[in-house]
Amino acid sequence: MASSTPDAAATLEYTPTWVVALVCSIIVIISLCAERFLHYLGKYLKRNQQPALFEALLKLKEELMLLGFISLLLTVFQGVISNICISASLSSHMLPCKREESSATDQVHKRLLSEGSGSGYCLRQGKIPLLSIEALHQLHIFIFVLAVVHVIFCATTMVLGGAKIQRWKHWEDSIRNENIKQEKNKTHKHAHLHVDFVAKRGKGHWRKTAVIGWTMSFFKQFHASVTKSDYIALRSGFIMKHCRSNSNFDFHKYMMRTLEADFKKVVGVSWYLWLFVVFFLLLNVDGWHTYFWLSLLPLILLLAVGAKLEHIITRLAQEAAAQRTDDAGGMRIKPSDEYFWFHRPGIVLYLIHFILFQNSFEIAFFFWILSTYGFDSCIMEEVRYLVPRLIIGVIIQGLCSYSTLPLYAIVTQMGDNFKRQIFDEQVQDKIQGWAMSAKGRKKSQAGLSSVFKGFLSGKTEDDASVGGPRNQIVSESAHSAQHTVNVGEIVESVSENSDLRPSS
């Protein structure tokens, strides 16, 4: 009769084989369907020439593999963790929900006894498990929900932000069509190009004061964050710095490429973000209302990032106004890293990554508590704290999608260097291989720049070993970017650009 006891029936030894086979079949079918879906999605992206999105999909697969490994560790070591015993008094500190003092010990013992034999080892010693099997299972579910919500939020932000940036396409087309007409008529292409931009952004001494300038930049991000005059001026500044010889460079296409490449970085959950998860879980103590205060952090960062990006546009306009001459064409937009925090435009992407992850954490935590414990659970917090958290999450998602992300896409191009997405994938691979090969010969020469110059001038002996003849690389680079760039500019930009520079 032992086989009829609850403990025996709960083991695989006394479970009907048809039940095991049925459950296993369902799990395998669902897993195969998900794997096939990702496989065909990757083929679709390749077929439609979306390499950046394909790399983002590979990054997503890496995150799923990491989640699978975490799941495996939690499953394999749940017995070991539940057999780590601690004193019952230690479990009464830093609780998400407060227990009644008179019945705290009885409640713990009743709960542990209801979980079966997994807690018996510690109870026999008069102690309690470090983490019960039920708590491990709930933690397991939370980590999965967090990762899924983060991916969904990042994808939604990129899709909505990309849709707004796509609206700028008609600005790009109108500028290029106007340039073609001006070239045919042999008129001055740059005359009066930035008059509207400077008039709206740079005029007035009161704008130069720090308080007023930052205040206007702060409110500018909420309405018409990027106008047509802004786009024309920033586009001209980028072209004049990096591809001066052709004003018909497709700046909009380049922006969309860089945004797709950045999506691969944003969709992942980096190690430092997992540290934040541990830190946030540690601070979830009853009475602290930690998650309410933490929900303000991404909002504050998002507003600061948006204000900073708008302030960079204002500073570019002020610099152009200061250079103004009698000829309107004398005004030039001069991109520079000095406008960005710590002279590093890439910091903005890290901040956006953290903002999206923190917002995902807030929303994922809410849905996890709702599905696991219910709305009336003490861990859900009071309505007066819960509702503002949800409202802040919606505000962050909307503001990041329709204002901050488009601002990031165009303003971060105003640094000293261009990104590798200025070339198509084939040319990127050739330049990458060329740079790595040059790095291997660097030890015997004065520096990496001399290797590049020697290669482009025909002084290297093994053109074939570095990705093809030099003329082919230069011509394909110019064709892929839809413009012709001076060879010296390519050498200087490639050697200085961190994205194309071989790691030391």
Reduced 3-state DSSP string for 274-307: HHHHHHHHHCCCCCCCHHHHHHHHHHHHHHHHHH
List Cα–Cα distances, 154 to 186, 209, 223, 297, 398, in angstroms: 46, 36, 23, 18, 12
pLDDT winner (highest mean) among 91-105, 194-208, 269-283, 385-399: 385-399
Secondary structure of residue 128 in the 3-state scheme:
strand
pLDDT winner (highest mean) among 20-29, 170-179, 208-217: 20-29
Distance from C-alpha of 77 to C-alpha of 79, rounded to nearest angstrom: 5
For residue 493, name the pLDDT band (cuts at 50, 70, 90).
Answer: very low
Amino acid at the residue 274: W
- Is 297's pLDDT higher than 70? yes
Distance from C-alpha of 461 to C-alpha of 445, rounded to nearest angstrom: 14
In terms of pLDDT, which residue wins out, 489 or 262?
262
- In whole angstroms, what separates CA 256 from the centre of its chain? 15
pLDDT for position 25 = 93
pLDDT for position 431 = 66
pLDDT winner (highest mean) among 72-86, 415-429, 435-449: 72-86
pLDDT for position 303 = 94
Q: What is the pLDDT of residues 226-260, one digit of tens each?
A: 888 889 889 888 888 888 777 788 888 888 888 88
In terms of pLDDT, which residue wins out, 498 or 32?
32
- Is 26's pLDDT higher than 90? yes
Q: What is the pLDDT of residues 419-437, one digit of tens each?
A: 777 766 556 666 666 667 7
Tell me the whole-structure pTM to 2 decimals.
0.74
For residue 22, name the pLDDT band (cuts at 50, 70, 90).
Answer: very high
Over pLDDT 70: what percentage of the chain? 74
pLDDT for position 347 = 92
- Is 320's pLDDT higher than 50? yes
For residue 324, name the pLDDT band (cuts at 50, 70, 90).
Answer: low
